[in-house]
Structure 1
């Protein structure tokens, strides 16, 4: 059967979008024997895990800045190992004595691996808050451990056993971080240190739940790492698992809508008008867009339509990509979390009110220090780093074209260009306050706005963090929907934000489709993929090219 004939009739599952959730789900379906088709509207696979190159000299990560829990029993390594990819993706450990550095006025603290050592550092930095810090860490460490146990072990467990094993998560998981701060009687400075890494999930203490904060913190305190070869290694390896087991992956293919007939998903329609049929459709698109645009509210219960209309996403990001003709003195691979004030809750209230004259805090990720041996990241002796800041949710400051629902032709809009120049200068000024003067050494400078994020991933509001509110506080939907045969994966689901959260949503979704607890299986050591079916990597193998990078747009299949 030719590929074109197969496009029309022979798919058992179609995955819309190639972020970590979509690729992980597609890979597990493929190794289980499904005939899988992945459709990506952009020209490169990977969603927020993709990379891009500039000047034939620098490679920048869109969203892979560091990954936690990458030890032998780590969640993401287990997911990859279960596909037969254990030897194809390696992780370079970041400094266990300080993988993150938190800087506030008058305070500097390195974040080490392990809750006990983390507590010691907190008490050293904030001795007046010792009692509250001990209570805070006791709650969060317990909630983090209990939620990880639930993820890896509780599938099929007796509900009474789950309740017995997760008392702290039941008591605190759905309450806000602000409520835990109040319970512990913590100072504004202590709250800022504890929430300093909130850009990992994109919302402040008054919106973030203790469960979300504890899970993310626990994730990194189990050990932080960076993929050897850069972020594109993840998408490229997952694609090898898909195509090696008979699936097909295509870029430049935008899905206009999901076909629903008699309450069942039965395929998709491309923006070209072509129909592709399959009894299972997995959307890796933004959850709100999936409900309101790809499927249509009329196919869901009224309560779901209402939640989609009133959903709140995480704050969007402005990202400054920087190349220098020299290394930054004194910088290691540790991420820098720099805060210009000591009241993180007030800073988030300012964002909620639309204030963004100059970033009050920035997150700086040093790719060239994390992966110094990958030549594509930067020329020898140069530096490659990113400066990130959260922005207000409304895009009106970026101009009418950028703020319109579909983005318009904002990139040439004078209002957009003026705001982009203003934000670039503001972020440069803040970055130099954090790092010292560097702008005279700049060889590449580029700003990505929330509108950029929305253009590449079609995310609501240009946020890379998924849903902040879906009905009640802390609520997020599961991957299974009320439409038979329709599933949703990615940042908007209950499995959390970030690279690992999205991958977990993918394997959880595949498990629901296949009717088996895949994540507990692979975490226990099961290998479902056959490494012998993976394509060979030649001496000139390039993960970006393998994912469609620099390929022409249009109907383009990733090499089998």
Structure 2
């Protein structure tokens, strides 16, 4: 990664800036790259000491490394539109490794269900598992396609000028909201009465962070469609996404400041004037926030400004929190025969109760998601042939840790450490059950909690997916790049959908609202690498 990122100080002020972006997640990086390609002067301000948001990874002195957010991606074949945007951001300098014919495996009460890459392969596989539900499986795949086609128009409408949205937006949103207003369970229960089939089709629900009885089917359809052609992993691990994009931004003259937390968005007479970092004012023509709508409006704007924007999030909860066990092994993934595919493991077919009726002690036994980053990454195997890594995740409640939130990071009391230790032991038991060959080869373990997420991301409830992907979310028409404050715009997964793909889409939509017809210069540059 380029090494010249600095903490902002007045003597480093290289303005004036056209656009200041708060936060350095992939939504910000997408937007910044598109703006900079059109000659705009852009600066990114990041509170963390590492840019990249959930695309970054962390390392330990023993050489182990784990990604924190990007466990795999879909739509990364050469022909996919998302891949074309990714190549544009990374200046065609990032390769993607397919995870193989089977990219996800779901276990329910010990029964195994494989998810193959390719819609027709998926259709055949599911009908093999459920021969009496052949018609339901066809209906399901057809509904996924139809929902996502309507979703394309729904999300594109978010880039409309306010007057055009007022005129046509309702007509575009209404067809999609007929399905987005229904939960995943409601829709699937109309298709089939087989609870095991419903459970299998919802086996990847951790990718959008809500159980079937709470999630919008629209979110389910988008995520399932995203992975339908298989999973992919970046060569060199998830940090390469940000590294390569930041290199592109440096070539384009953008400024990136780390350890530089924005304390205020400065607004006067309903127009953005700039930002403050501590007490230093930095002027600009527009500010774009990528730190979530809750953080933006509750912490960086005054109450009158918040009311002016009409943001009311009382109907939508934050997304789920999680506990994660990071495991380092003293043998390579090849020697241990670790898979590339992810594992989703549920205690039984009642997925919603597995994810909601949990305690800190029971969570890992009811639900586990297991990822093998070293096995997915060909670069790791070349450089670390005698080491391997695993991540094992379960759902968590922020309330379990609330009593410790004011205690300093890495110095919290023994009771907090005991909760983490209990989780570690139960998750290791689950790992030894599912991947028994690793027993005796665990060299290093570390646990992150919702308080870890809060510490590094500033999400107040330790959530990882922003606003919950519930039916109510899709009725909030103000979740779009435009706000009612002139010069203030929004980007990130709250505006569109969960994950890297959703955040990238938000960056593109926000770029359209700023560049308008000049966006054609960006699209033209998709196949024109920088020197």
TM-score (norm. length: structure 2) = 0.88
Structure 2 spans left out of the alignment, 5+ residues? 1-7
**What's the offset of the Cα at 1:529?**
8.8
**Pairing 1:5-404 to 2, within 5 Å after superposition:** 7=13, 9-83=15-89, 85-95=90-100, 97-148=101-152, 169=176, 171-271=178-278, 273-301=279-307, 304-307=310-313, 309=314, 311-327=316-332, 329-351=336-358, 357-359=362-364, 360-374=366-380, 379-392=384-397, 395-402=398-405
CA distance in 2: counterparts of 1:154 and 1:370, whole angstroms:
35
**What's the offset of the Cα at 1:81?**
3.4
**What's the offset of the Cα at 1:436?**
2.2
Is this contact kept in 1: 2:158–2:481, CA < 8 A? no
CA distance in 2: counterparts of 1:168 and 1:122, whole angstroms:
29
Q: Secondary structure at the match of 2:181?
A: coil
Q: Secondary structure at the match of 1:423?
A: helix
**1:544 maps to what in 2?**
none
Is this contact kept in 1: 2:158–2:480, CA < 8 A? no
CA distance in 2: counterparts of 1:532 and 1:286, whole angstroms:
31
Q: Secondary structure at the match of 1:52?
A: strand
**2:497 maps to what in 1?**
496
Question: Structure 1 residues 440 and 306 mapped into 2: Cα distance closer, same or farther (>3 Å)?
Answer: same
| CA-to-aligned-CA distance 1:247-293 (integer Å, 9 cap, x gap) | 1101111111111111112211113x211111211111122111100
Is this contact kept in 2: 1:401–1:410, CA < 8 A? no
**1:550 maps to what in 2?**
none
Q: Secondary structure at the match of 2:389?
A: strand
**1:537 maps to what in 2?**
none
CA distance in 1: counterparts of 2:151 and 2:64, whole angstroms:
38
TM-score (norm. length: structure 1) = 0.84
**2:413 maps to what in 1?**
413
Question: Bigger shift: 311-320 or 327-336?
Answer: 327-336
| CA-to-aligned-CA distance 1:346-390 (integer Å, 9 cap, x gap) | 223315xx67523211111111111133369x7313221111111
* Length, aligned pairs only: 516
Question: Structure 1 residues 289 and 420 mapped into 2: Cα distance closer, same or farther (>3 Å)?
Answer: same
Structure 1 spans left out of the alignment, 5+ residues? 534-560
Q: Secondary structure at the match of 2:485?
A: coil
Is this contact kept in 1: 2:316–2:473, CA < 8 A? no
Question: Structure 1 residues 120 and 517 mapped into 2: Cα distance closer, same or farther (>3 Å)?
Answer: farther
**1:546 maps to what in 2?**
none
**What's the offset of the Cα at 1:46?**
0.8
Question: Structure 1 residues 327 and 70 mapped into 2: Cα distance closer, same or farther (>3 Å)?
Answer: same
Question: Structure 1 residues 179 and 323 mapped into 2: Cα distance closer, same or farther (>3 Å)?
Answer: same
CA distance in 1: counterparts of 2:493 and 2:171, whole angstroms:
29
The alignment yields a C-alpha RMSD, in angstroms, of 3.1
